Structure 1
Amino acid sequence: MTGVDFTVIDGLNVLSVQTIISEVGLDPTRFPRVKHFTSWLGLCPGSRITGGKVKSSQTRQVVNRAANAFRIAAQALSRSNSALGAFYRRLRGRLGAPKAITATAHKLARMFYRLWTTRQAYCDPGADYYEQQYRERMVNNLKKKAQSLGFELVAQPEVTEGVS
């Protein structure tokens, strides 16, 4: 149909892909950018601002089977050993399950749109790669904070003790 195998994305199975395609159609030009696509799905944060004051940033309530398919796929990633699964688990611990599901569904929708428009293959880097990126980001942030306070952050070498 579309020339792309969407089931390579973790969490998306044949039934959910069929549901999504039946809702959005086969023509990706209907949505000029990924922001339009995720907004139509109701998976992006709202921006209700008046007088420079943010009143709310909740997602819109939509009756959309495609959005529900992305949310179900995101919930299925809770025990997945993939980068998306690690992303979901990290957000769930910090934000709670409902917000983590919506954020992961938003990420899945962006990946779906990218495959849909570019027709390129998807390769999952895995949970270890995601954790390594997160660790590097945290170390860099700590170094910047220490430098701004006038300290120097020095990493201790890892000591591996051999059992003999």
Structure 2
Amino acid sequence: MTPFPTAAHLASWAGVCPGNHESTGKKAVRTPKGNPHIKSSLCETAWAASRTRNTYLSAKYWKLSSRRGKKKALVALAHKLLT
């Protein structure tokens, strides 16, 4: 038996899964605390992947960063790398 049954469980444990909590009409989108060492390593890797040229991950980063902002795009890219 594996410790993580799905990729979503692994992303949640690492702290790079998107959260969606709504209270009184306000949406607070935060990532869980997770494992700080793995989370920082994934974000460093995502940053390096976003700086490469003509790759799928780089295109995804720039597409997301124009809409959501650079830091949210970075966490989304880290999630994509992990899953």
Letter in 2 for 1:74: A
1:85 is matched with: 58
Q: What number of residue pairs does the alignment pair up?
A: 82
- Residues 104 and 33 (structure 1), Cα distance of their counterparts in 2 relative to 1, 3 Å cut: same
Structure 1 residue ranges without an equivalent (≥5): 1-27, 111-164
- Residues 30 and 54 (structure 1), Cα distance of their counterparts in 2 relative to 1, 3 Å cut: farther
Match of 1:45 among 11, 18, 28: 18
Letter in 2 for 1:58: R
Q: Percent identity?
A: 37
CA distance in 2, matches of 1:100, 1:43: 11
Identify the structure with bigger relative contact order (alpha carbons < 8 Å, sequence gap 6+): 2
CA distance in 1, matches of 2:22, 2:65: 27
Secondary structure of 1:61's aligned partner? coil
Q: State TM-score, norm by structure 2.
A: 0.83
Structure 2 residue ranges without an equivalent (≥5): none
2:9 is matched with: 36
Structure number with greater Rg is 1
Q: What RMSD, in angstroms, separates the aligned Cα atoms of the two structures?
A: 2.0
- List structure 1 segments (4+ residues) > 6 angstroms apart after TM superposition: none
